[in-house]
Structure 1
C-alpha cells in the first residue's frame, strides 16, 4: 500500500509457529519419498494413480500452456521473475524482502539439486535426474515468498496469513507440477517432493534472513567489545 512503511520482518510474527510446524512436517515426505524412490528409473505405484508420464501426454492448446508454465522455471524465466520480485521489494524500500526474494527460491533450488544427486532417481533414461522437481520447488518457493511479504505488508493475522501462504503455495505448485507431469519431465511424486521441499526450506530461510538482519541492526547498539574500548 503506497505510503505505508514496510514491516521489518519478512516472516510475520503471527505466522512463525504455524509455518515452523509446516516446514517440519513438509520435511517428512521429502525424506520418505527420497528413500522410497532412490535409484529408481520407473514410475512408482502412486505415480500410476495419476498418469503415465510421456512426452505426448498433453496436446495443443494445453501443451502451449504447459510449455509457457515450464518456461517460468527455466533459467531465463526464473531470472525474470526474480528480477521483478526484487525490483518490487526495492520500490517498497524493503531491502530485507529483496534478500528473501533471492535467497528463498535460490536456497530451495540448491537443496532440490543436491537431493537429486543424493536420491538418483531418473526419468526417460540418459541420466535425467528427476526427484525432486526443481521447477516445482522454485515456483512454490517464489509464491511462498510473495505471500509471506503480502501477509506482513497487509498485517494479516495468523488464520488469514496462513491461509494466504498455503493457497499461494498450493496454486503455484499445482500449476508448475501439472506442467512438469504433462510434459513428461517429472513423475507426480517428483512434483510432490519439490513442493514439500519449498515448504520446508522457504520459511526457514525467511527466519534466517530476519535473524541475521536483526543481529546486524542490533550490533552497533550493543556493548562495545574490548577492541572498541579506548586505551
Structure 2
C-alpha cells in the first residue's frame, strides 16, 4: 500500500526526511510533528550515525542540527555534499551568524533557528522540495510560458540546458544543488538585469515572508565558485545580475 503526502492540494509520494539532532526531546518532538504532516521521518542522534543513515536510506531531504557530537552538522553537511545534492536544512540553536554562514558555506540550502516553529519548518521543507521537484526533470510543454525552459542558453563557456536541467562549463558537467540550479535559471532567464535579494528569496526559495538575505548571498557565492565568479556580478546596494557575455 502506497503512502501519499498532500501539499497545496496536490498528492505527492511520501517524502523521506532524515533528522539528525542530539537532543532526544527535541528530536522526538520534531519527528512526531513532521509525521503528523505525513512525512516519513528517520532520526539519528549524532553526526556519524547521521552519515550512516544518509548512506543507508538516501533520504529526500535532511535536517541537520549544527551542534552534534562525533561529527558536527557542518562537517556532516560537507560529507553529504561530497556524495549527494539532496536538499539540506540546517538548525541553529542560537541563530548565530557564524553558524548560519558556516552551514550555508558547507552546502546547506536553508536554515531555521531553534526553538523551531513547526509551521515555519514545514513551510521551509515544502519550499525546498518544490525546488527539488522543479529541477528533477524536463517540464511539460508550455510549463511556464516565459521562454525560460525552452532550450540551451550560452554564456561564454557556460551552457544551461533548460530542458534537460543540465549545466556545463567548458564542456564539463557542473553539479549544482536544486536551489543552486534554480538560482542559476533565474539569473539566466534575465541576463543583464539586476535582481535584488528579496526577489531572489521569493522566486528561488519561495518565501512568502521576509527571509534572511544571507541565504541568497551565500548561495550566490557557492554558485560563483562552480560557474565562474565573473558570470554573476554584484551591483552594490541593489543585488546581482548575470553577465551577458
Give the TM-score band, short-chain normalised: under 0.3
Higher strand share: 2
Q: TM-score, length-normalised on structure 2?
A: 0.24
